[in-house]
Amino acid sequence: MARKTLRRSKHVPRRTCVGCREVLPKRALIRVVKGPEGIQVDLTGKAHGRGAYLHEERACWEKGLKGALDHALRTKLTDEEQQGLMTFIDRHLSGENKDDQGAEELS
């Protein structure tokens, strides 16, 4: 009797949104990174530094900016950095600059 070979499913990295704590595939979330150049939004998911992930939803970003993002990145976000992140999400959610690739500097 022949044995069926089991096919392995491809591994999909999963990450947790720091705003709502929902676990999703990495590509479904936006990465914010604290790197050598400061706090950045990393659309590639490959920038160097400590990262945290958020949904593309304003509620998650607002909750993240109230403290969850500080804790995840192990830093204290300045008012300027918080404003830069909110500016990014305002542009991103409205559909502008949807074709941006790479990391965007916020400072």
Residue 57's CATH number: 3.30.1230.10
Write out pLDDT tens, residues 74-106.
Answer: 999 999 999 999 899 888 876 544 444 445 555
Token pair, residue 85, equals 């992140």
Task: Tell me, yes or no, whether 1 lies in a domain.
Answer: no
**Contact yes or no for 81/35 (Cβ under 8 A):** no
For residue 28, tell me if it sits in a domain: yes
Instruction: Indicate the number of domains in the chain.
Output: 1
For residue 107, tell me if it sits in a domain.
no
Q: Does 100 map to a domain?
A: no
Question: What residues contact residue 32 under an 8 Å CB cut-off, 6+ apart?
Answer: 39, 40, 41, 42, 51, 52, 53, 54, 64, 69, 73, 85
Length of the chain: 107
Q: Residue 6's pLDDT is what?
A: 80
- Which residue range is the domain that position 21 belongs to? 14-94
pTM for the model stands at 0.78
Of 33, 29, 49, 52, nearest in space to 41 by CA = 33
Residue 67 domain-assigned (yes or no): yes
Say if CB 100 and CB 91 are below 8 A apart. Answer: no
